[in-house]
Structures are given as structure tokens and as C-alpha cells.
Chain A
Amino acid sequence: MGFLDINNATKSYGSVKVLHETDISVEEGEFLVLVGPSGCGKSTLLNMIAGLEEVTSGDISIKGRSMNGVRPADRNIAMVFQSYALYPNMNVAKNIAFGLEMHGVAKDERDKAVAEVADLLQMRHLLDRKPSQLSGGQRQRVAMGRALVRNPDVFLFDEPLSNLDAKLRVDMRTEIKKLHQKLGTTIVYVTHDQIEALTLSTRIAVMFGGHVQQLGTPKEIYDNPANIFVAGFMGSPSMNLFPAKVQVENGAAAARIDLADGATVSLPFAPGNTMSGYDTQEIILGIRPEAITDEDGADRKSQAIHRIETRVEVTEPAGSDIFVVSHLGGKEVTGRFRADVDVSPGDVFPFAVNMDKAVAFDPKTEMRIG
């Protein structure tokens, strides 16, 4: 049993089930990120943990105590909202102290706690201002201060960075991560930004259509996606997914892929693969852009680099890399080349494919098969 346990919890609005049976166990000090596209039920799950939405069935417990029917205020949680939700009629100090006041903490103790949090977040000079007199980043900071001051068991964040501009978002991301490392509190964090999920979390729950598609560490999710949705959703640019056919010769499995000009190539799966049972079956092959490179950029430690010559259609220089777009198996495929490679659209160019990193999916069930 973990620190925060979600046991078979569901949520329905009338006859519409927006969250299907969900089981997640969060250890103390973990940073769990709920990630998924809009409408997948992330906020709903978070609000259920907070007690703002009731669970329709199942159970959520914190520190072994069932939270069903417990008021949000009595769960010892704190929440940071997307819109920050600062009380407009109170100054920053009062905003931060409001929760303590409601919990009957004495005035001088409140002042001390506010001062401590203000120092931690470096916002002493803002304490007398009204929320309307703060910038977006400062509001964000106050919202975090309001959560921190309560010293809760669990922090809940609902897309706290989505209203900030790109630069500030990256800064605040780092700050939240530092804060987590320093304080070691348990955090559940909702975002639809998969980069945020990968950088911040100790574990990720990828959600779609009210189901948790996969729960795992960022590395597990990235390297071993459980299904096509997770593979395509996590990573930027996203994983290349294209049809191929399994071919087993002398016990060694390979993927046959159609090239743009009508020819086919055969890419052997990496040693130790489990694909030999799928002879002649159609599969969806998934390879991340960084596993499709120019030959010199290929991973030297890999035992399964294979070469494909195909036509380059578009190049997208991105500073440190060039993204090179081509076609494999009838689908557009992006490779990541080093920036100084001399490649231009129209060239027929050798691509190095790292089959160590290739994953295969069943086209019908969309589940991972190898």
C-alpha cells in the first residue's frame, strides 16, 4: 500500500463514464504526472483526489485513510490551479495565510509561516500587493506559496504552467523540480505537455479516453510504450509509426518495409527480439526520430544499425539538429541528423536505422507485441 492509493476509482456524469477503473499507487515523495490530450479525464482524477469531485465507485486513500466523503479541507492536500485562483480582494500575504486562518492558526504563527514561504519563493517584496498588480509568473509563485504554506501531505497541480509564456514556463518548470527535490513532498501534477511530464516526473500516467494507458517511469514510457497511443503521444517530434511485415528466415526475424519507389527493404530486429512468432504478419513498426540518423550520427554502442537509402523530401533545421523527412511504408517518417550533415531535399541519402530502439505493435489491438 502506498502513500496515496487510487483503487478502482471511476467517475460518471449521469450515464457518461469519464473515468474508467483506475488503479494508481503513489509512494511518499513521488512526483506523479498525469498526462494526456484535452478531455481525457486528468483534471477529473485530480479533482477526485482533492475531494472537489466525488468518486462514483472505488476508493481513494491518503496515508491509508479512505478519503471517500472527506471534505477537501480535511484531506490535508493543497492545490495549484491553472488560473492560479488568487483571491482578488486580498493582498498576497492574506492570500497565502487564508488557508491557515481557516484552519484556526494563530495570527503570529501565520505571519511567521507566510514570511518563511515568501523567503523560500523569493517574493518578500510582493506581500503587500493585490493579485491584479502581479505578473503572470509572480501570480504563479503566489499560488505555489499558498499551497506550500499549508505543509500538506500531497500537492496537486492542475496545469499550473499553461498560462505562462514559453520562456517563463521552462524557468518555472525547473523551479518546481528544484522545490520538489528540496522538500521531498508527494506531488500529483496534471499537464497535457508531454515534455513537462518527462522532465518533471518520477512516474507518469498517460491517459486517454478516461483510461490510464500506461503507468511507468519516464524512461519506461519513452522507451517501452505499451501501445500506439502512448508511443505517438510521448516524445517530440513524435515516434515514427509505419506499417511493415514480419519475415522470419533461419529463425531471425526482420521487418519488410516498402520504400517510396516501390522497392522494399528488410530490417532485421535486434538480437533477443520476440518477433519470430509473428511470421508473415502485418505490424506497425515504431522508431523514434533519434534512432533514424545519418550514418556517422548513429549510436556506436548499438548492435543493430541498418542502412536504408531513400529519398529526402523535406529538411527542417532546428539549430542543434536537422530533422529530415522521408517516406517509409507509405508513411511520412522523420529522422534526426546532426546539424552539420550536408543533406538537401531531393537527395537519395543513406539513413542509419537503430533497430535496438524499434518497437512493434499489433495493428488491430494497437498493443505492443515486441
Chain B
Amino acid sequence: MASNASANVVRTGAGSRYVIYAILTLFCLYYLLPLYVMAVNSLKPLSEIQAGGMMALPSQWTIAPWQSAWSTAQIGVDATGLRPYFLNSILMVVPAVAISTVLGALNGYVLTKWRFRGDTIVFGLLLFGCFIPFQMVLIPMARMLGLMGIAGTVPGLIFVHLVYGIGFSTLYFRNYYQQFPTELVRAAMIDGAGFFMIFRRIMLPSSGPIAVVCIIWQFTNIWNDFLFGASFSDFDSQPMTVALNNLVQSSTGVKEYNVHFAGAIMAALPTLLVYIVAGRYFVRGLMAGSVKG
């Protein structure tokens, strides 16, 4: 791939290269600016923000806004900070991602290697599920959650995200496993491995790249979701996104912008972290299959 890439690169003179770098730097700044604004303002006392100068570095550095956002800020009616909601989000996102990834892998395995009558229809319906707008299912879903007795709970949210997540994770794994040689599965069958043994010993060990893609995708989507969180949670099961909204909305009297900024960064950190840790696999995994080697 490396040799391929360099073969595709157009040679440029030094002059035009400076122009390119200048433009790239400009774009870079443009994209980083909001993060900068959030970061510096979350580390200032409120008075400095109110005095204007959003762009300036703090003259007096402080982590008080972070502490406040985390553990003492007013969220809705309680002054608990974001901590319990951060925990809610973790409790929701980890099982939802894990289960939807495993189920997606199983689905992909069955849909490519154990084909059955009507399998393309099943896959088509799963795909269709990916593209149903969230808003459409709100009311039926609320009814379902009520019937199952998990309305307004973290397990309820996990369930909702699972239902939406499986379509995408199945799509990822099915396309990945389609490239996976069927002869390997047949060889394992002759060797005496059963359905789950083949999945565990032959398929899964070769699924690293696509699993990373799937995990990043599901994690970001579920962590960042607001609509389902706002619709299907109670005060004690609200995820981070909803709590952040409440933090910003519920301040009585003065708006504590520095606390809001700190909270917003907190809400964004986990997805950022996942990208930094697994990001290179993400690109690699997305490319897998489209480019050999």
C-alpha cells in the first residue's frame, strides 16, 4: 500500500508545497479553534469570561470549574455534578457496544458461512433497520419498553441501542466475513469443529480490524446519543448527554460558562480517547476488503 500511495502522489515544487502547508495549517487551526476555546474557558474563573476575551488565555488558572462540573453543579433539581450520569453512560455504553458487536459478528458469520433459505431477506431487513429514522420508533419503542418493564432504566437504554446497533454491526461483519475464505470453515468442519468452535477459534481471531471499527462506531454513536437518552430515561438513569443539557439549561441566575465548558469536554473525552487509542485500526479496518494487502 505504501508504494502504491507514493506512486499516486503528484510531485510538487517547493513553492507550491509552502502554499499547501499554509492552507493545511489554516484548516487545522479552524478545526481546533472550538476545542481551544472550550479548553481555555474551562480553566478560567467566570469573572474573566464575563469581562470578555473568550480567546485569551486565563490570567488566573483554575480547575474549580472542572471540579464543580464533575461533582457539585446543579443538574436539573439535584446538585450532584455530572459524575452519576457519566457512570450511567458507561454502564449503558459498555454492555451495549459489547453485545451489539458480538451479535453482529455472529450474524455476519451466519449470513456468510451458514447460509439458509431467506438469508438475503433477513440481511435486507437488518440493513433496512439501520436507516429507519430514530424519531419514527420513539412511541412504539416507549410502549415496548413499558411492556418489558424496563422503561426509564439503564437496561432499557441498552436494549434500545442494541436494537439500533445490530444492523450496523451485522453489516460490518457480514461484509468482512464475505472476504473470509469459506474453505477454512469447511476445513474446520471436517476437522470436527462445531458452529461455535469455528466462530471462536477460526473466525474471531481474524476479526481484529473489523471489531475495532465496529466498536468505535457503536461507542461514538451510543455515547453521543441524545434523543433516546432524553426520551427513554428517568432522572436516575439519564446518560451524560442529557445531563449535560440539563446542566446548561438548569443554571438559575448566572450562567456558569466555565463549568459548562468543562462539562462539555468531559462528555467528549471518552470518544476522543477511543479514537486516539484505536483510530489507526479504524482507517485500516474501513479499508480492509476494498484494498488487498
Does B187 count as interface, using CB distance less than 8 angstroms? yes
B205 contacts which chain A residues (CB < 8 A)? 89
Contact A83 B190 (CB under 8 A): no
- The CA-CA distance from A150 to B192 in the complex, in Å, is 11
Residue among B186, B197, B202, B205 with the most chain A CB within 10 A?
A: B186
Q: B225 CB to closest chain A CB, in angstroms?
A: 35
A147 CB → nearest B CB, Å? 9
Name the interface size band of chain A: 20 to 34
Q: Which residues of A contact B202 (CB under 8 A)?
A: 87, 89
> Chain B residues near A170 (CB, 8 Å)?
none
Q: Chain B residues near A85: list those with CB within 8 A.
A: 181, 183-184, 186-187
Contacts of A83 in B (CB 8 A): 181, 183
A residues 53-98 in Cβ contact with B at 8 Å:
71-73, 77-79, 81-83, 85, 87-89, 98
Q: Which of B181, B189, B197, B201 contacts A72 (CB 8 A)?
A: B189
A77 touches B183 (CB 8 A): no
Residue B49 at the chain A interface, CB threshold 8 Å? no
Q: Which residue of A lies closest to B202 (CB)?
A: A87
A103 near B192: Cβ-Cβ < 8 Å: yes
CB-contact partner of A73 in B183, B191, B201, under 8 A: B191
A348 on the interface (CB 8 Å rule)?
no
Question: CB-CB contacts of A30-70 with B at 8 A, as 1s and 0s?
Answer: 00000000000000000000111000000000000000000
The interface size bin for chain B is 10 to 19
Q: Give CA–CA (A81, B192) in the complex, Å.
A: 16
Given contacts A89-B205, A89-B206, A102-B197, contact A79 B192 (CB under 8 A): no
For residue A52, which residues in chain B have a CB less than 8 angstroms away from its CB? 186, 189-190
Chain B interface, DSSP helix/strand/loop, else mixed: helix
Contact A81–B187 (Cβ < 8 Å): yes
The answer to whether B187 and A79 touch across the interface, beta carbons within 8 angstroms, is yes
Known contacts A83-B183, A85-B183, A85-B184; A77/B190 CB under 8 A: yes
Q: How far is the CA of A78 from the CA of B188 in the complex (A)?
A: 11
Does residue B141 face the partner (Cβ distance < 8 Å to A)?
Answer: no
A98 touches B188 (CB 8 A): yes
CB distance from B117 to the nearest CB of A (A): 11
Question: A79-B187, A81-B183, A102-B197 known; A88 and B192 CB under 8 Å?
Answer: no
Residue of A whose beta carbon sits closest to that of B197: A102
B110 at the binding interface (Cβ < 8 Å): no
B288 CB-CB contact with A under 8 Å: no
Given A82-B183, A83-B183, A87-B184, A99 contacting B206 (CB threshold 8 A): no
Partner of A88, one of B186, B188, B206: B206
Instruction: List chain A residues, Cβ under 8 A from B181.
Output: 83, 85
B193 near A: Cβ within 8 Å? yes
B29 CB to nearest chain A CB (Å):
44
Whether B183 pairs with A87 at a CB distance below 8 angstroms is no
* Cα A50 to Cα B188 with chains together (Å): 12
Chain B 127-170 interface 0/1 with A at a Cβ cutoff of 8 Å (1 = within): 00000000000000000000000000000000000000000000
Given A81-B183, A102-B197 in contact, is the A50-B190 Cβ separation under 8 Å?
yes
B187 proximity list for chain A (CB < 8 A): 79, 81, 85, 87, 146
CB contact list, B170-189 vs A, under 8 A: 181, 183-184, 186-189
Q: Does A102 contact B191, Cβ atoms closer than 8 Å?
A: yes
Bound: A184/B186 CA distance, A: 26
A78, closest chain B residue (CB): B190
Q: Beyond A88-B206, A89-B205, A89-B206, is A99–B190 a contact (Cβ under 8 Å)?
A: yes
B residues lining the A interface (CB < 8 Å): 181, 183-184, 186-193, 197, 201-202, 205-206
Pick the 6 closest A-B CB pairs, nearest first.
A102-B192, A73-B192, A99-B191, A89-B205, A85-B187, A85-B183
Give 19 A-B pairs besides A73-B190, A77-B190, A99-B190 with Cβ atoms closer than 8 angstroms. A50-B186, A52-B190, A72-B189, A72-B190, A73-B189, A73-B191, A79-B187, A81-B187, A85-B184, A87-B201, A88-B184, A89-B202, A89-B206, A98-B188, A98-B193, A98-B201, A99-B191, A102-B191, A146-B187
List 8 interface pairs A-B (beta carbons < 8 Å), by A numbering. Answer: A50-B186, A77-B190, A78-B190, A82-B183, A85-B183, A87-B188, A98-B201, A102-B191
